[in-house]
Structure 1
Amino acid sequence: MEDDETAAQCVILVDSDHSGVLTVNVQARKTISLSQDEVGDSIVQSQIQFCDVTKSYGQVAAVKELSLSVRNGEFLTILGPSGSGKTTVLMLLAGFIAPSSGDILIRGKSVAAVPSYRRDQGIVFQSYALFPHLTVRRNLEFPLEMRGMNATERGSRIDQMLDRVHLADLGCRLPSQLSGGQQQRVALARALIADPPILLLDEPLGALDRNLREQMQGEIKSLHKEFSSTTVCVTHDQEEALTLSDRIVVMCAGRIEQTDTPEALYDRPTTRFVANFLGEANILENPCFRLESDVLQPGGTVAMIRPERICITAATAPRQAEADRRQSVEGTVDDTIYAGSSRKYRVRIGSSVLTVREHVGSGQQIFRSGENVRLDWLRSDVRFVAP
C-alpha cells in the first residue's frame, strides 16, 4: 500500500440523516495497486475494535463510551430504534465522522484519524447511492479503476460479479431502469467486487417490500459466506437481524444493552428493553396469580415469557402431559388476531393480560372473544430481566 500522497481519493458526502447521497466528488490523484497476497492478508487479519468511543454533538452524546470487538469474518448486526446511536457507530467505522473521544482499531491499528477512502471497506447505503449517470457495468467498474486494475481484469471481474448477483443481462442499463431489488444487487456487487476485508451495510433492505426483503436476506447471507468479509450491518428490523447475524448488538440511547448470538438474545434477554425490542414479550411485573419457575427469581428483576411458549386450550380440555413441569392458569379471551401463518390471542387473567401466539394449522380449535380458556407453559420457559 502506498502512502497518502499517492492514494486515490474518493469522498462521498452523505446527507445529515444518512438517508442518501447528495453529492459525489471523486478526485483520483494516483491509483493504488493491490496484489492478491495483500488482499488475502487483509481478509485474514481483519478485525474491528471500538475502544471506549464517544461521539457528541454539542451537549448531546449520540454514542457513549462504546467498547465493542468484531471478529474476523463475522456478520455483526447493530440493532436499535431510531436515535439509539446505531447509525452513528457505522458512520464512525466508515470514517465519515470522527469520534469525540476513544479510539477505533482495524487490524490492530488506529483509524480514528484515517479518512474513509483509506480504510479499504465496501459500503452499501440505504438508498444504494449508485451513480445515476453510469450503467450497471460502469458502477461496478469504478472501484476497480480506483485500485488500478487493468481493463481486461476489470471486465472479467465485472462479468463474474454480474453473473453472481443474477444481473448478467442488465449490465448496460442505468440504475433508473432497474427495480429496487435489482438496484440492491448492484449496490452489493459494487461493494464486494474489490474483495474488501470489511463490508458495511446501512439499513440495506429498508427500501424493499417484504417479499423482496426476504429474498435479499438469503442473497446477503449467501454472499457473506462466499466472500467471508467481516460485515457490520445496521438495522431496526428485528427479523432481518435474527436471520442474517452471527451476533447482534442491541443499542439504546447511545449505549449497548446486550450483545450475543441471535438465539441467546431472543431466548435469554437480560433487560426488559431487549425482551420487548427483539420480538414480543409478556412482562409479568405484578401478575395476579402466583408465578412458578424452576429457578429463584433474582432481586430487582421482573418475570418474562415469550408468547409462543404459552399453550392455549379450552378451559375444560384434559391436562397436558408433564403437568408437574408446567404452570396452568385460566382466563378469558379478550381478542383474536389472525396474521396468516400465526394467530395471536389476548387473554385476560384477572387484571393481567397475556399474549399467546400459535402457528396456524389444520384442525386447530379457534377461540373467540369471551370464551374461557386455559393457558399453560413450562416453568423452565420463564425468564427474569432487569426492569
Structure 2
Amino acid sequence: MYGAVVAVKDLSLSVRRGEFLTILGPSGSGKTTALMLLAGFEAPSKGDILISGKSVAAVPSYRRDQGIVFQSYALFPHLTVRRNLEFPLEMRGIKVGEREKRVDRILDRVHLRELGGRMPSQLSGGQQQRVALARALIADPPILLLDEPLGALDRNLREQMQGEIKSLHKEFRKTTICVTHDQEEALTLSDRIIVMRAGRIEQTDTPEALYDQPATRFVANFLGEANILENLNCEVESDAAQPSGTVAMIRPERMCIAAQAAPKRADADRRQSVIGTVDDMVYAGPLRRYNVRMGESLLIVRQHVVSGEQIFRPGDEVRLDWLRSDIRFVAA
C-alpha cells in the first residue's frame, strides 16, 4: 500500500523453476510494485513471499540471491565494463583469478570482449543493455528479475535484444520474471504471461492461449487488437453457444475483406459474411489496416500486402467474412 492506495491486492502466483514469466499491464496496474516486492525493495503489508519454500518477505534485497536488470540499466558510470561485471563477484568474496575468468566468459557470451575497458557512457544503448544482463547473470543467481528491460531502446534494437534475452534464457535456464507494458515483448519472450489490471491479476496463461482465448474484454483489447462484435446490424453467428454475460470477439487478422460483388470463398458454408463501408485505410509496410463501418461499430481488418490485390478506399462498399469457429466470447 502507498498511503490509502492499494497498489497490489490479493496477488497470488507461483513461478516454475526455469520459467520465463512476464507480468504485463498498463501503467498503474501494479506490475512494477509486484516486481519490487519480489526484489525486496518493498515489503508486503500482509501475506508472504516464498523462494524454494522459504519465506523471504523480511529478507532485505541485498540478501536475496537474485539478479536484477533495471530499465535505466543502473550501470556504475565511474567503472569500466569489466569493473561493473566484477563488482557483484567482489561483493560475494570471489577471488581475483576466478573473477577474471567469469568476466571473460560472460563478455564473450554477450559479444562485448573488446569493450571491457570502456566506460558505460562510451557504449550504445544495446551494448549497455548487454552489460546489464551480463552483470545480473555473472554471479549465477537462481532468479533473474527484469524491469522493463527494453523500454529505452528503439524498435529495431528491441527486436534484436528480444532475441538475445530469449537465447540467454534458453542457455542459462534461469527462473526469470519480467515486467513490461509491451505486448509484443511479452508474447515473444514468455512461457507464461500474467495480465494485471488495477492491482489484480486479470488472467494468466501461455502467450498463445492468452491471445487466442482471452477471458475478458480488457485482456482482448490490451493484448493486441480486438473487434468486439456488438451494435452490429446483424446477429453474430458462431460454432459455439454464447455464455451469458459475454460479448463476441474476433481478431482483425481473422477477418477477410473483399469487394461486395466478389465470388464467395470455397468454404463459405463455414463463414459469416457482412457488408460494410470502408472508413479508412492505413498502409503499414507488410500490412494494410482497414477500418470498416458496420452499423454503429467500426471493425478493424488487418490484411497482408500481396502484389496485385485490390485496394479499397474510404467510401467503398466491401464484404467482410470470417470463420464462425474464429469467434471468441469474452466477459463483458
Instruction: Give the TM-score range, shorter chain.
Output: over 0.9
> Which of 122, 134, 137 matches 1:189?
134
Deviation at 1:364, TM superposition (A): 1.8
> Which of 282, 285, 288 matches 2:227?
282
RMSD after superposition: 0.7
Between the aligned partners of 2:24 and 2:146, the Cα distance in structure 1 is 12
Between the aligned partners of 1:266 and 1:309, the Cα distance in structure 2 is 12
Structure 1: segments with no counterpart, 5+ residues: 1-55
Contact 2:231–2:295 (8 Å) recurs in 1 = no
Number of the residue aligned with 2:200: 255
Number of the residue aligned with 1:314: 259
Between the aligned partners of 1:330 and 1:285, the Cα distance in structure 2 is 15
Number of the residue aligned with 1:377: 322
Deviation at 1:150, TM superposition (A): 1.2
2:206 equivalent to 1:265: no
Number of the residue aligned with 2:124: 179
Contact 1:288–1:352 (8 Å) recurs in 2 = no
Between the aligned partners of 2:191 and 2:142, the Cα distance in structure 1 is 17
Q: Structure 1: which 4+ aligned runs deviate by more than 2 Å?
A: none
Number of the residue aligned with 2:157: 212
Between the aligned partners of 1:366 and 1:214, the Cα distance in structure 2 is 30
Which letter does structure 2 place at the counterpart of 1:261?
Answer: T
Between the aligned partners of 1:350 and 1:257, the Cα distance in structure 2 is 30
Deviation at 1:352, TM superposition (A): 2.2
Number of the residue aligned with 2:113: 168
Deviation at 1:193, TM superposition (A): 0.6
Deviation at 1:282, TM superposition (A): 0.5
Provide Cα deviations, 1:117-174, integer angstroms capped at 9, x if missing partner.
1110000000000000000000000111112111111111111111110111000000
Number of the residue aligned with 1:199: 144
Deviation at 1:351, TM superposition (A): 2.3
Residues 96-135 of structure 1: pairs in structure 2 closer than 5 A: 96-135=41-80
Deviation at 1:234, TM superposition (A): 0.2
Between the aligned partners of 2:82 and 2:30, the Cα distance in structure 1 is 35
2:132 aligned counterpart, secondary structure: helix
Residues 85-100 of structure 1: pairs in structure 2 closer than 5 A: 85-100=30-45
Scaled by the length of structure 2, the TM-score of the pair is 0.99
Contact 1:94–1:200 (8 Å) recurs in 2 = yes
> Which of 350, 358, 377 matches 2:303?
358
Between the aligned partners of 1:316 and 1:284, the Cα distance in structure 2 is 23
Between the aligned partners of 1:137 and 1:65, the Cα distance in structure 2 is 42
Which letter does structure 2 place at the counterpart of 1:115?
Answer: P
Deviation at 1:286, TM superposition (A): 2.6
Provide Cα deviations, 1:307-343, integer angstroms capped at 9, x if missing partner.
0000001111110111111000011111001111211
2:257 aligned counterpart, secondary structure: strand
Provide Cα deviations, 1:256-278, integer angstroms capped at 9, x if missing partner.
00000000000000000000000
Which one scores higher on RCO, CA 8 angstroms, separation ≥ 6?
2
Between the aligned partners of 1:189 and 1:58, the Cα distance in structure 2 is 37
Between the aligned partners of 2:138 and 2:7, the Cα distance in structure 1 is 33
* Worse overlay, 316-325 or 241-250: 316-325
Between the aligned partners of 1:255 and 1:350, the Cα distance in structure 2 is 35
Between the aligned partners of 1:328 and 1:72, the Cα distance in structure 2 is 47
* Worse overlay, 348-357 or 235-244: 348-357
Between the aligned partners of 1:94 and 1:272, the Cα distance in structure 2 is 31
Contact 1:77–1:248 (8 Å) recurs in 2 = yes
Between the aligned partners of 1:196 and 1:141, the Cα distance in structure 2 is 15
Which letter does structure 2 place at the counterpart of 1:98?
Answer: A
Between the aligned partners of 2:172 and 2:134, the Cα distance in structure 1 is 11
Report the count of equivalent residues.
332
1:293 aligned counterpart, secondary structure: coil
Structure 2: segments with no counterpart, 5+ residues: none
Of Structure 1 and Structure 2, which has the larger fraction of its residues in strand?
A: 1
